[in-house]
Amino acid sequence: MKLITILFLCSRLLLSLTQESQSEEIDCNDKDLFKAVDAALKKYNSQNQSNNQFVLYRITEVTKTVGSDTFYSFKYEIKEGDCPVQSGKTWQDCDYKDAAEAATAECTATVAKRGSKKFSVATQTCRMTPAEGPVVTAQYDCLGCVHPVSTQSPDLEPILRHGIQYFNNNTQHSSLFTLNEVKRAQRQVVAGLNFQITYSIVQTNCSKENFLFLTPDCKSLWNGDTGECTDNAYIDIQLRIASFSQKCDIYPGEDFVQPPTKICVGCPRDIPTNSPELEETLTHTITKLNAENNATFYFKIDNVKKARVQVVAGKKYFIDFVARETTCSKESNEELTESCETKKLGQSLDCNAEVYVVPWEKKIYPTVNCQPLGMISLMKRPPGFSPFRSSQIGEIKEGTTSHLRSCEYKGRPPKAGAEPASEREVS
């Protein structure tokens, strides 16, 4: 096929350059864009060892980002060609198969241009639609024969989940892998069902050291390892996976520099001290404090100073707070309740807590450490003296979260004739 024929099929191209707020348009004749798409399609074909090569149909979206490296992010559509992968031909030498027999796919890829010639595929995900094929009614009359199954069939989902978990539990790779694309599947009716599924997997940013299994926060790595697995599963008449085997081939990731990102999935991040997600966590925290504290009276949380959360195999909260002694004694009250008021002249504790939350097990494990702050005493204030001052609102920068209080205690009033003490800086 002619290059000009392929390029005229581009439906629309968009480019957004984030560097120095400059933008420019690129058209279908952009040679680097074609080289980027060519690199992505060749990599896709190289991982499809048993079928025909796919041929470019059209490019639908493009974004170009220029920095230390140039990145092309684009969507493109491909159709199955008439050249086997093992033929030694390039996809440009192939023609499309007949529409009724050709599988199609829609791919999203990011390709980096390094230097003047090298193009590296950073990430690529494809959704394949199997060929409709000629309908032969007679072939489905054989209940014991092996028949193809749609890669979108919901019957495959429990087997795929089992297969990914099986791979992550039985390999020595330090990272967890996730499903990338189901390539083909077939089924045989026996005393139950035999399935054979071939699919690709990709390395995620979740390490086995910090994650027991995949969570929604586990994302595919731009330059991670990839693999192709074939699973054989027998589903018994109770719809259980009674027998399972797996064979996987792993392909190392390319030498690629991942572009900088502002998101660190496994790093602690600040959350508002009045966040609703802290309510249950704080309830367990104060319960733990009162259970381990030998004081006669219950304590309750008076002020949350700072809160952070970290995504691990679950969530871990780091909370700094002040607890104050209440009027409810442990002898007369079975537990701390809303009616327990803090004492005007009572003990205060400066505390920090680490709370590990496992949502799927509905379990919370708090650890609390406290130091006494001393007794709170009331003093008569001179007329016009206010013990509080407004918090200063600092500059809010992009990507940061500011936690502001409406007022902050500024200490005792100065004695008559004394030099006014300089106000401490509001953090």
Structural domain range at position 231: 142-255
Residues 70, 148 share a domain = no
Residue 380: how many CA atoms within 13 Å on its side-chain side? 2
| Structural domains in the chain (count) | 3
Q: What is the DSSP letter of 201?
A: E
Residues 286, 233 share a domain = no
Per-position DSSP letters for 188-250, written without gaps between them: EEESEEEEEEEEEEEEEEEETTT-SS--TT--B-TT--EEEEEEEEEE-TTS-EEEEEEEEEE
For the record, the structure tokens of 307 come out as 């809160």
Residues 110, 8 share a domain = yes
Residues 307, 226 share a domain = no
For the record, the structure tokens of 421 come out as 């003490």
| 369 part of a folded domain | yes
> Please, what is the Cα angle at 350 between 345 and 351, to 5 degrees?
130
Residues 122, 149 share a domain = no
| 212 part of a folded domain | yes
Pairing of strands 192-207, 175-190: antiparallel
Q: Among residues 117, 134, 151, which one ends one of the domains? A: 134
For the record, the structure tokens of 404 come out as 């502001």
Q: Residue 276: which CATH number? A: 3.10.450.10
Helix (H) or strand (E) holding 3: helix 3-7
Residues 127, 8 share a domain = yes
| 415 part of a folded domain | no
Residues 57, 6 share a domain = yes
In this prediction the pTM is 0.35
Residues 285, 367 share a domain = yes
Q: What is the DSSP letter of 100?
A: T
Residues 152, 73 share a domain = no
Task: Give the pLDDT means over successive 10-residue stretches in the chain (427 positions).
Answer: 47 40 56 88 80 88 80 88 84 86 87 81 84 49 77 91 94 91 91 92 90 87 88 91 93 58 67 88 91 89 90 88 90 85 87 90 89 58 41 38 36 46 39
| 413 part of a folded domain | no
Residue 193: how many CA atoms within 13 Å on its side-chain side? 18
Q: In the prediction, which pLDDT does 344 show? A: 82
Q: Among residues 336, 353, 378, which one ends one of the domains? A: 378
Residues 210, 333 share a domain = no
Q: In the prediction, which pLDDT does 322 show? A: 92
| 397 part of a folded domain | no
Q: Among residues 378, 400, 421, which one ends one of the domains? A: 378
Residues 153, 127 share a domain = no
Residues 154, 128 share a domain = no
Q: In the prediction, which pLDDT does 157 show? A: 92
| 392 part of a folded domain | no
| 100 part of a folded domain | yes
- CA 8, distance to chain mean position in Å, is 37
Distance between CA atoms of 314 and 189, rounded to whole angstroms?
40
| 318 part of a folded domain | yes
